A and B are shown apart, each in its own frame.
Chain A
């Protein structure tokens, strides 16, 4: 079980949150990028072995959306929201 740092509530149990998926790179301009890059952005979900940037929603708490860096090997939160308590 993870303790996720919420900027409003402080560290809270993972069960209070909903997973919002990994943060994707910025959307490329479709008319200015090649098919390969466009399909890569559209269909490939970041899934590194190591830290990944993710969005989480404190749905059963204060309702804040937050971004963390989580190590997929250990579930350690290596970087939380800047102003998390």
Chain B
């Protein structure tokens, strides 16, 4: 019996890895650029097509459509960031898969140890975890989950997902 789910490889997003204190990053980038810092660990704030994910102590990922990469790069000025803030463009380092369908959570559970129940992993949850043995970023999307892995593990992850869905 197969699962009622499917997956697809998504086009890359614009993604910036931000490290530093909230105050240092906010001061450098300006509060108007960011959608606001999430108040809880492993949560995201979304606004105006941007998503700011709190993925570690003093670490955030800023994501948007790839069309906005140049605009964000110009606004963030990674090359000129002060010593208190690190800003690195990592758009091409991640490959994202969208797993959607009624059984999406069951498919993820094959390779991911996270508790993905609504109460433990709500709509604005985002977290690094493990997926088929490799580090992966998991978030909710409409009807399922988006799983991002390092680009070099993309083909392997695609193979694992295809086997899981058989």
Contacts and interface: CB of A to CB of B under 8 A. Distances in A.
A13 B130 contact: yes
Q: For chain A, give the interface size range.
A: 10 to 19
Contacts of B63: none
A16 B56 contact: no
A72 interface: no
A64 B42 CA distance: 13
Nearest to B131: A60
Interface string A4-20: 00011110110110000
A62 B57 CA distance: 7
A8 B56 contact: yes
B113 A61 contact: no
B41 A8 contact: yes
A34 interface: no
B113 A8 contact: no
A61 B59 contact: no
A35 B55 CA distance: 46
Q: For chain B, give the interface size range.
A: 10 to 19
B128 A62 contact: yes
A63 interface: yes
B77 interface: no
B23 interface: no
A65 to B, nearest CB: 10
A4 to B, nearest CB: 11
Given A9-B42, A12-B113, A63 B59 contact: yes
Nearest to A3: B113
Contact of B127 (A13, A59, A61, A63): A61
A8 B38 CA distance: 13
B135 interface: yes
A12 B42 CA distance: 13
B117 to A, nearest CB: 14
B129 interface: yes
Interface in B21-56: 41-42, 55-56
A84 to B, nearest CB: 12
Kindly list the 4 A-B residue pairs having the minimum CB-CB distance in the complex, ordered from nearest.
A13-B113, A62-B56, A60-B135, A60-B130
